[in-house]
Amino acid sequence: MKILFSLIYIFIAHPLLSQSKQADSLYKIPFDTNKIKDAVRLSNTSEVFSYDSLYIWNDKRSLSEIMDARPGYFVYDFGLGGRNDIHYNSRYSRSTGIFRDGVQINDNFFQGFDIQNISVNEIDKIEEVSNVSSFFYGINTFSKSINIISKDFFQQQPFSQLRFSQDRYGSLYADAIYSQPFSRKVDIQLGVTKHSLDGRYENSVFDIWRGRSRLNFFLSPKFNAKINFYLDKYDRGLNEGLVYSPDENNLSDPGLATVVNTTAKENLENYYYDISLNGRFFKNQNSLSKLKIYSNNSLRHLANPDSILPQSSYGSGFNHSLLYGIELYQNIFIKHNKNFSSDLIFGGNGYFNIFSSNLFDRYQNNYYSLKTMYNFNFKNLFVSAFLRNDNIVSKNYLNAGVESNIKIIDNENIKLQINGGISRTEYLLRNDAFFKLYTPGSEISIVEIPRLYYEVGGKLKYDNLTVAGELYAIIYDNTYVRQYGTNTSLHYNSKYSEIIISYSYSQEQLFPQNYLKGDLAFKNELFNRKLKLKTGFNFKYYSINLITTQDQSWYSYDYTEQLFPQKNQFIVDFYIGARIGKANINLTIANIFNSLVYNTYIFPLENRGGFVNAISRFTIVWDFLN
């Protein structure tokens, strides 16, 4: 704002006072002038939401809890500290791409993603790429792409932030972040997490150390470099959930409940490295060159498995998966005239996967991708077309899609937008390590399932109210509709209240047929705006028809033809959040109706225990050096 006032003053005063000189203080340059903004995003047209503005108030503890509050998502919950799988639009978690600052971090051996590799205190914003175009960006991202934009403090003074949380069953969580600038061009950031809990049921102990470091080189407004290193080391009990009992008292009481597996445990060490180079080398500053080089190195030791699935005989021992990746993107933005612009994006990926285990011989699986996307913008019409060609085991697979949105009404009082798209992808089980376990020495098997995905929806915004919805359908082999459903949401945000409600329907019986969730909150600012207060209720209701079985030694699941013993699930949490000075403080009273809630048949949500255990957690996030 000072710069704006200064420029206005100079523009007006210069003809009248041409001989005068301005003090240097009027020309104060922002500290992050060299930083290329939004370089970590996957797409400049995707939706981005802030964690702090939406979810710090009701104290979400993990990435899975954040996404489970969003329309269209459903999480298989294996308890606090578990590998809680994120699903979208009835698609399995192995089709959900998880990125951190534009670099994919999915488990390239088991596919899917272990949410314990992300500390919630890392998260600044989350980018959600459309379901139509997600396949364009990563490996097996046929469902959704979620890009975690991490906190990247770059300011003139050092910065530190501490998050501390105490939860039930001996859960203690602490995360610290430190940022130190050395100049306008160089900055270092460090972070560490410690989380441990005893667990509610037998063999559910969890303990993790996370470390992360970042070195930023903002050499000029035209060239930036970033180096990241992450290390996650943890131990986890795999009790496979509870043996079902029709007596709820047996299931809710840790002393009476019987777990499926009392001995299975795992130790994991995950290392992530990445180097990102970003440059604006063209005259048009909307054109950006991106080069990423990264590595995911994962070691898993499994002891004493006792799988619940008879076909799974995953023996004790180790798995080692190593991924080297390289990505290169270039976009060329052309402003044809005031109403018409084009954006051409092209690039490619190289993936080099190496797997070894005590159960099979070491083998390697590499593949390559070439990509191109064209974005067309004319007045209120936006159209995007994209192609991706994958070369896997000397065979080519072409994936393609197109999506569009048009703003029917776009003024200060009301906005109405309609969007839709279609994509065709070869659904591939690409890193098919599982076949190696069943048939050691066999060639890599690739499952090819052509898939058409259709989506149509819209968004209406009037004053403080936003209503959105979409219909989707998935067709396999051009023969029949396998899955279809709808996602709708309502968001009302005023000075003193906020209402967020979403409803999803899915035809796929592996997931909830009906899922209603929301947040009803009151907010205010007190004591001359020194205290910001938000309090409210989180609620979830969903219905599931068929029993889903889980196997955590394989990180796999399946459903049977048996009816779910408890079809309707309902849970309500009460929370109080306050911002006092530089600290956010939260208190959560979980499951105020003390209901027994399942979402995977044998894994109950851990939010039950009567009044003594009802005060689920206390959390403080404190900026203590700023």
pLDDT in tens, 472-497: 998 877 666 678 899 999 999 999 99
Most confident of 14-18, 316-320, 430-434: 316-320
Together in a domain, 406 and 463:
yes
Distance CA(56)–CA(471), nearest Å, equals 30
Together in a domain, 282 and 323:
yes
Q: Is 59 left (phi over 0), alpha (psi -120 to 50) or beta?
A: left
- 58: closest CA among 530, 540, 544? 540
Tokens standing for residue 458: 């819209």
Provide the percentage of residues in the chain whose pLDDT is more than 90: 51
Together in a domain, 383 and 468:
yes
- Contact present, 71 and 54 (Cβ < 8 Å): no
- 469: closest CA among 483, 482, 484, 455? 455
Q: What is the 3-state secondary structure (H, E, C) of 81-112?
A: CCCCEEEECCECHHHEEEEECCEECCCCCCCC
- Contact present, 407 and 399 (Cβ < 8 Å): no
CA 54 → CA 37, 51, 126, 521, 543, distances in Å? Answer: 22, 6, 11, 11, 26
Together in a domain, 106 and 7:
no
Statement: residue 545 has pLDDT above 60: yes
Q: ∠206-212-217 over CA atoms, to 5°?
A: 165
Together in a domain, 415 and 479:
yes
Distance CA(73)–CA(63), nearest Å, equals 12
Paired with 523 in beta bridges are 534
In a domain, 41, yes or no: no
Together in a domain, 349 and 430:
yes
Distance CA(67)–CA(69), nearest Å, equals 5
In a domain, 366, yes or no: yes
- 603: closest CA among 558, 561, 549? 549
**3 state DSSP class of 488:** strand
Of 62-71, 183-192, 604-613, give the lowest mean pLDDT range.
Answer: 604-613
Statement: residue 265 has pLDDT above 50: yes
pLDDT tens for residues 320-329?
999 999 999 9
What average pLDDT does this structure show over 137-146?
A: 87
Distance CA(454)–CA(264), nearest Å, equals 42
In a domain, 39, yes or no: no
**Separation of first and last alpha carbons in the chain:** 21
- Contact present, 450 and 424 (Cβ < 8 Å): yes
Give the ranges where 185-322 is alpha helix by DSSP (H): 248-252
Structurally, the chain folds into a number of domains equal to 2
What average pLDDT does this structure show over 343-357?
A: 91
- Contact present, 407 and 416 (Cβ < 8 Å): yes
Exposure of 105 by Cβ count < 10 A (0-12 exposed, 13-18 middle, 19+ buried)? buried
Domain residues for the domain of 26 are 1-30
Residue matched to tokens 């899922």: 515
Together in a domain, 19 and 57:
no
Distance CA(145)–CA(403), nearest Å, equals 16
In a domain, 314, yes or no: yes
CATH number assigned to the domain comprising residue 265: 2.40.170.20
* Secondary element (H or E) of residue 610: helix 610-614
In a domain, 40, yes or no: no
How many other CB atoms are there within 10 angstroms of residue 122's CB atom? 21
Q: What is the 3-state secondary structure (H, E, C) of 421-458?
A: EEEEEEEECCCCHHHHHHCCCCCCCCCEEEEEEEEEEE
- Contact present, 241 and 219 (Cβ < 8 Å): no
Q: Write the DSSP assignment of 137-168 as a string of letters.
A: TSTT-SSEEEEEEE-----SS-EEEEEEEEES
- Contact present, 515 and 507 (Cβ < 8 Å): no
Strands (E), 182-264: 186-197, 206-220, 223-237
In a domain, 38, yes or no: no
In a domain, 272, yes or no: yes
> Whole-model pTM above 0.85?
yes
What average pLDDT does this structure show over 35-49?
A: 91
Q: Mean pLDDT, the chain, as a whole number? A: 85
Statement: residue 45 has pLDDT above 90: no
Together in a domain, 20 and 61:
no
Q: What is the pLDDT of residue 388?
A: 94
Together in a domain, 13 and 101:
no
Distance CA(574)–CA(569), nearest Å, equals 17
Q: What is the pLDDT of residue 626?
A: 65
Together in a domain, 569 and 486:
yes
Task: Give how far the C-alpha of residue 328 lies from the chain's centroid of Cα atoms, to the nearest Å.
Answer: 23
Distance CA(160)–CA(312), nearest Å, equals 47
Together in a domain, 75 and 146:
yes
CA 206 → CA 77, 233, 440, 524, distances in Å? Answer: 15, 11, 32, 38
Q: What is the pLDDT of residue 397?
A: 86
Q: Which residues contact 352 (CB under 8 A, 6 or more apart)?
A: 323, 324, 325, 364, 366
Instruction: Identify the band that residue 395 occupies on the pLDDT scale cut at 50, 70 and 90.
Output: confident
Q: What is the pLDDT of residue 592?
A: 84
Q: Is 578 left (phi over 0), alpha (psi -120 to 50) or beta?
A: beta
Together in a domain, 5 and 111:
no
In a domain, 534, yes or no: yes
What average pLDDT does this structure show over 180-207?
A: 93
Q: Looking at the chain, how many residues does it have? A: 626
Tokens standing for residue 229: 């290193």
Q: What is the pLDDT of residue 416?
A: 95
Distance CA(425)–CA(476), nearest Å, equals 10
